[in-house]
């Protein structure tokens, strides 16, 4: 006999059903609203650069041990300064007897060499630009370069896992040119460059920099992460982070969709680098009473990798299936068959010979 629940029991069942439906809807809403990858944190002040040798802070780089190095725009010799990560005080300096025309950016190659991009050309009048290399040991090197399509102002240099430099120009048209050497670097050169691609940025609402709205897409620095899996370009207002493909091709990386990291309220942001833990560092030149702040965005590399999954790679072909070994009895059977065949042929030949002799 089937029993029917009383009214209080039916009410409880309906309430439970409603609660379950509402819970499922709420869970689905949360899942749809949660991004696949965590967004990078807002920039936080680390310290303030007050040393007068870095009043025009223009380049940052981080060595394999996590040491932060900074470079100023200008001067009559190459000079890079190691900073205290907590106070931004200068701890040491490396120099080279090379007189740059307009040094703009700093990078470190996989072999530990510092690369100074003497590529600034505000008037677009230089016949050649240059890369100045300070190796871990030995004398500094000078590599002069020429553009294939006339002079450009460039303030960003990138060094990938292959050690080949990539220059990104500073354009007010909204699209930066991406150049790399057309062959091995000559010393002193010049080595011709080739235009390998371009880089553009989505619209940004971030504010900062000295040139208003144009600052949102004028490239002022570049950086690669310690593991070379992420490459970044910065403008006066933002950093744009790209995942590097498995091939390590930086030019191909810059054709992808970047992750935006806003860097608001920097008077003249022209420096960028990554710490080994994936934190993004940014720096600005001193302007007025606003000293040169060094700011950090934790988790920038992690957020970029989460936002841009690795490219699928073709699955390797399955290994060829080896032929099954022959049964142990097969060679003996083949040998026996051949023996029987030979005996049969011999018997037939003897019988034929006997018939011929009987006819004589």
The more confident residue out of 355 and 289 is 289
215-221 mean pLDDT: 95
Q: Residue 220 in contact with residue 171, Cβ under 8 Å?
A: no
The tens digit of pLDDT for each residue in 1-16 reads 444 444 444 444 444 4
101 inside domain:
yes
- Is residue 236 within 8 Å of 266, Cβ to Cβ? yes
For position 138, which CATH number holds? 2.120.10
* Neighbour order of strands in the sheet with 259-262: 221-224, 230-234, 238-243, 259-262
Q: Is residue 177 situated within a structural domain?
A: yes
What distance lies between CA 287 and its chain's CA centroid?
31
Q: What is the pLDDT of residues 308-332, one digit of tens each?
A: 876 654 444 555 444 455 455 544 5
Domain that holds residue 254: 45-307
What is the count of structural domains for the chain? 1
Q: Which of 148-162, 214-228, 276-290, 333-347 has the lowest mean pLDDT?
A: 333-347
Q: Tens digit of pLDDT for each residue in 258-267? A: 999 999 999 9
Q: Does residue 110 sit within a domain?
A: yes
* pLDDT band at residue 290 using 50, 70 and 90 as cut-offs: low
Reply yes or no on whether the pLDDT at 118 is more than 80: yes
Position 328 scores a pLDDT of 53
What does the pLDDT average to over 94-110? 95
| Within-domain flag for 129 | yes
For residue 114, being part of any structural domain is answered with yes
- Does residue 351 lie in a domain region? no
Does some domain include residue 241? yes
Q: Indicate whether 194 belongs to any domain.
A: yes
Q: Given pLDDT bands bounded at 50, 70 and 90, which one contains residue 35?
A: very low
């Amino acid at each position: 006999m089937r029993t029917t629940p009383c009214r209080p029991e039916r009410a409880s069942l309906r309430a439970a059903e409603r609660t379950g439906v509402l819970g499922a809807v709420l869970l689905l809403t949360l899942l749809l609203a949660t991004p696949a990858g965590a967004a990078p944190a807002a920039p936080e002040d680390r310290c303030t650069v007050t040393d007068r040798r870095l009043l025009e802070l223009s380049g940052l780089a981080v060595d394999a041990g996590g040491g932060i190095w900074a470079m100023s725009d200008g001067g009559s010799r190459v000079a890079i300064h190691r900073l205290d990560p907590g106070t931004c005080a200068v701890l040491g300096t490396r120099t080279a007897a090379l007189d740059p025309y307009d040094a703009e950016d700093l990078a470190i190659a996989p072999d530990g060499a510092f690369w100074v991009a003497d590529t600034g050309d505000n008037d677009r009048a230089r016949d050649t630009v240059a890369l100045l290399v300070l190796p871990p040991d030995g004398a500094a090197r000078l590599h002069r370069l020429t553009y294939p399509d006339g002079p450009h102002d460039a303030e960003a240099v990138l060094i990938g896992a292959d050690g080949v430099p990539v220059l990104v120009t500073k354009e007010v048209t909204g699209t930066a040119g991406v150049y790399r050497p057309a062959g091995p670097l000559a010393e002193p050169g010049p080595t011709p460059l080739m235009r390998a691609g371009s880089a553009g940025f989505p619209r940004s609402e971030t504010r900062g920099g000295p040139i208003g709205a144009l600052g949102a897409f004028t490239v002022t620095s570049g950086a690669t992460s310690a593991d070379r899996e992420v490459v970044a370009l910065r403008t006066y207002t933002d950093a744009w982070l790209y995942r590097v493909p498995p091939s390590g091709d930086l030019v191909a990386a810059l054709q992808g969709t970047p992750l935006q990291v806003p860097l608001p309220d920097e008077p003249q942001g022209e420096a960028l680098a990554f710490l080994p833990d994936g934190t993004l560092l940014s720096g600005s030149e001193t302007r007025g009473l606003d000293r040169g702040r060094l700011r950090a965005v934790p988790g920038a590399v992690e957020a970029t990798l989460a936002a841009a999954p690795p490219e699928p790679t073709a699955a390797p072909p399955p290994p060829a299936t080896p032929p099954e070994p022959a049964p142990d009895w097969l060679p003996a059977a083949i040998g026996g068959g051949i023996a029987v065949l030979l005996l049969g042929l011999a018997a037939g030949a003897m019988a034929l010979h006997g018939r011929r002799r009987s006819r004589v």
